[in-house]
Amino acid sequence: MKTQEQEIVTVLAELVPDGGTALARRVGPQALAHAQAIQGEIVPWLEANELTARAWQAFQQSPQAQKPKLLTVVQLILDDDVDLAARLDALLRAYQQAQPAGKQETRTVTASGERSVAIGGNARGNTFNTGDQIQTLQPGLDADAVTRLFAQALDLARQQPVELREDVAAAVETAQEEVAAGPDADKALLNKMLDVLLDKAPDVLELVVEAILNPAAAVGKGAKLLAKQARESLQKQRSA
């Protein structure tokens, strides 16, 4: 079973701005009650320690901008507690089923151009015929893989010696934010974070570099070049 972390964070993002007033108008009071139950289950865990509480506080101030960071935190929490994950899965199903017909989440996809293809939902591993050739979406091209790698990096950062832990975790979180910014990433800041990780936590750097170089990471060539350079520096450090 895989708890749907992205849906949990989406529910929280709809509740935080106005306490669920707009959500209630859209999905009705019964679905709102389930959404609030989801919030009631996860928030105590988010407030349980300084790092997760900081991410939750930042999310409350800017839900849309802080979604990637909170997603990582929620994923870590659920990976550590299967009972919580099961309860939240059940609440998510109840929330979805309580929504009036036609109010469930829908996705609109548009195809344009000759032999174009529009894909909605999860298309990993499927093959699509575009007219004169067949293209397969590779499992490696998975945005969730990037999130998982950053989650693993953050988890490893929290296992560092106490005198390094905060700096290493902050470097991972900042790097993830810049990767989430895509082509608008601050390359100078990203490079600084990679240098911090090279100096203080090479094992964490390895995961961050792997995340940046993943084909699904929508960053520019400059950011990927920095990641490659960091990998080369890491290899030199280990062979010295």
Q: Verify that 148 and 93 share a domain, yes or no.
A: no
In a domain, 124, yes or no: no
Q: Give the amino acid at 93.
A: R
In a domain, 203, yes or no: yes
Alpha carbon of 122 to those of 10, 44, 144: distances in Å? 17, 31, 11
Q: How far apart are CA 155 and CA 204, in angstroms?
A: 9
pLDDT at 185: 85
In a domain, 130, yes or no: no
pLDDT at 3: 52
Q: Verify that 84 and 151 share a domain, yes or no.
A: no
Q: Verify that 74 and 152 share a domain, yes or no.
A: no
In the chain, how many domains are there? 2
Alpha carbon of 1 to those of 4, 42, 89, 123, 142: distances in Å? 9, 18, 9, 19, 18
In a domain, 131, yes or no: no
Q: Verify that 20 and 83 share a domain, yes or no.
A: yes
pLDDT at 46: 93
pLDDT at 146: 83
Q: Verify that 84 and 154 share a domain, yes or no.
A: no
Which DSSP letter does residue 33 get? H
Q: Verify that 151 and 206 share a domain, yes or no.
A: yes
Predicted structure pTM score: 0.46
Q: Verify that 147 and 94 share a domain, yes or no.
A: no
pLDDT at 193: 93
Facing residues of 84 across strands?
none
Q: How far apart are CA 94 and CA 90, in angstroms?
A: 6
Domain boundary among 39, 71, 98: 98
What is the residue range of 41's domain?
A: 5-98
Q: Verify that 79 and 163 share a domain, yes or no.
A: no
Instruction: List, in order, residues 6 or more apart from 90 with CB less than 8 Å away.
Output: none
Q: Verify that 93 and 152 share a domain, yes or no.
A: no
In a domain, 239, yes or no: no
Full pLDDT tens readout for the chain, 240 residues: 345 788 899 899 989 988 888 888 888 888 888 899 899 999 999 998 888 899 899 999 998 888 888 988 888 888 888 888 888 888 888 888 888 765 444 443 444 444 444 444 444 344 444 444 433 333 334 567 888 888 888 889 989 998 999 999 999 999 988 888 888 888 999 999 999 999 999 999 999 999 898 888 878 888 899 999 999 998 988 887
In a domain, 103, yes or no: no
Encode burial over 209-239: b for 16+ CB neighbours within 10 A, e otherwise.
bbbbbbeebebeeebbebbeebbebbeeeee
Domain boundary among 43, 67, 98: 98
Domain boundary among 43, 76, 98: 98
